[in-house]
Amino acid sequence: MYDLVIRGADLIDGTGAQRRRTDLAVAGDRIAEVGQIDGSRGRRVIEATGLALAPGFVDIHSHSDYHLFLQPTADSAVRQGVTLEIGGNCGYAAAPIWGPWLEERAATYRDLYGLDHPWQGVADYLDRLEASGISENFGLLVGHNTLRGSAMGGANRSPSSVELEAMVAGARRGMAEGALGLSTGLVYAPACFSKPDELAAIAVEVRKGGGILTCHMRSEGDELLEAIEEIIGVASLAAIPLQISHLKTSGERNWPKLADALRLIEEARSRGLDVSCDRYPYTASNTGLQAVLPTWALEGGQQERVERLRDAAARARIAQELTTLYPSDYWSRLMISEVTREEHRAYEGLRVAEASTLAAKPPIDFVLDLLIAERMQVDAIFFTMTEDNLEAILTKPYAMIGSDSGCRGHEGPLSRGRPHPRTFGTFPRVLGYYVRERRLLDLPTAVQKMTWDPCRKLGLVDRGRLQPGCVADLVLFDPATVSDRATYEAPITYPVGIHHVFVNGVAVVEAGEHTGARPGRAVRKTRLEGC
């Protein structure tokens, strides 16, 4: 007797094969059978005629490391059909962490959310996360930025041999404790102060543990091509598979660079380097407002950065550089997404140009004053990309789908602000807009980009496919109606058309609503089984 039988669904197995109408059975947390199955053999039977059945979606680029302790039901993710998130991206991982970064990170989350931070290593972090009870599965990348900050704070220099060995040892321990790879955010402090040989030394250790390298590149705009060459060079030197995070061309003057960017990737692939990328289906990005500051202004810890903005001479230098770097209309293309202080909530959802007018300040003064008052904790949305390039990236066979977001919900501490709509809409948007309406991708190809492609990249051989022996992470959706509803104006809005979601064989979404179940697990590199 099977625990679950799904009958008559249009099965999309994740491999890119054409869909076929058939049945699927689940026993425990695994797929037991695919084919014609008598409904009497199931303790529960779902008649799924007219619905598509796919592996649960895998968000290869998420930022839910801390969010899952605050939103363990992962509402925004599972209601999209996401059953596995990969965290630790852009170099910022919850573990391993120690020293100055542990102290600063613990203080930040304690002050903002009252969150305890009792872990340092990957194993302890994953064990605590799993024990807390989560609704989705979660895997972790070791973060280069976190390693560097832990070993040497926010110093703008090359590491000593002792500091580099501390980073390498941290990565080694992280891989041994179940991490899936290494991520870096070379545009962000403190990794922005690093050189390629430092990253390559850490990546070699991660490759020995069977991991991959993911990278938010040093530039996605004016120096995009140089940044691609840099990270391909690092990956080649370390002989490690490479995932370029959220590939984009930022800024209108850089839009024509896409053809050359893709050429560099494809030339590397032709040389045998395993390089791929991911992308969210939107033309605006989302990161901390402090990203507008020049690199030198990001040195040190949070308090040092705040004091630098308060210093008259440093502030004048920053203001002059921002005036040179950004045209006056730039501030009308930058939206305040989230702040921490109630007196600043009125700015959420406004463009910087609008918010600065409300505050009766020039835009640059407004930005610097807001960063000081919020102790650098301001999120912003940047409208800098073009739809044509987005579509060109999505169609590439080496491009996957990632939200670049942390899970949220419509209630609780993570229901505030104006988060990017990708948080609630990424995967249904691909299925509804780019598959059904634009016909940019066919359905099996789109599903493959969300399932087997990321699992294969990460070495998760028992996930991402609808085959006997694979983990029973499943999503039932209606191809005719599935759609995102989140907008920049109303981002905390769930999609439609996602009917059922199963995580490890347990229903977490029924008829589009969260069941409250929390069967999620930590996915560890060292604990994988094939199917």
Percentage of residues in the chain having pLDDT higher than 70: 99
Q: Six-digit token pair at 442? A: 């066919």
Distance of CA 312 to the CA centre of its chain: 37
The mean per-residue pLDDT over the stretch 352-365 comes to 97
pLDDT at 530: 56
Q: How many CB atoms lie within 10 A of CB 524?
A: 18
326-333: long-range pairs with CB below 8 Å, 24+: 326/292, 331/356, 331/363, 331/367, 333/382, 333/383, 333/384
Confidence category of residue 179, pLDDT binned at 50, 70, 90? very high
Confidence category of residue 526, pLDDT binned at 50, 70, 90? low
In the predicted model, is pLDDT for residue 228 greater than 80?
yes
Going from N- to C-terminal start, the domains of the chain cover 56-283+385-462, 301-382
The mean per-residue pLDDT over the stretch 297-303 comes to 93
State how far the Cα of 116 lies from the Cα of 12, in Å rounded to an integer. 41
Question: What per-residue string of b and e applies to 249-273 under the rule 16 or more CB within 10 Å gives b?
Answer: bbbeebeebbeebbebbeebbeeeb
Question: Which helix (H) or strand (E) element contains residue 278?
Answer: strand 275-279
pLDDT at 328: 85
Question: Which is more confident, 328 or 156?
Answer: 156
The bridge status of strand 4-11 relative to strand 20-27 is: antiparallel
316-327 confidence digits (pLDDT tens): 999 999 999 999
In the predicted model, is pLDDT for residue 170 greater than 50?
yes
Q: What is the pTM of this model?
A: 0.97
pLDDT at 398: 98
Question: Which is more confident, 529 or 283?
Answer: 283
Q: Which residues contact 96 (CB under 8 A, 6 or more apart)?
A: 120, 121, 122, 142, 146, 147, 150, 170, 171, 173, 174
β-pair partners for 182: 142, 213
pLDDT at 63: 98
CA–CA–CA angle 434, 241, 264 (5° rounding): 65
Domain 56-283+385-462 fold: TIM Barrel (3.20.20)
In the predicted model, is pLDDT for residue 373 greater than 80?
yes
Q: Six-digit token pair at 367? A: 């930005």
β-pair partners for 11: 20, 53
Q: Which residues contact 384 (CB under 8 A, 6 or more apart)?
A: 221, 250, 251, 252, 283, 284, 285, 333
Distance of CA 510 to the CA centre of its chain: 25
The mean per-residue pLDDT over the stretch 233-242 comes to 98
H, E, C per residue of 339-352: CCCHHHHHHCCCEH
- Averaged pLDDT score across all residues of the chain: 97
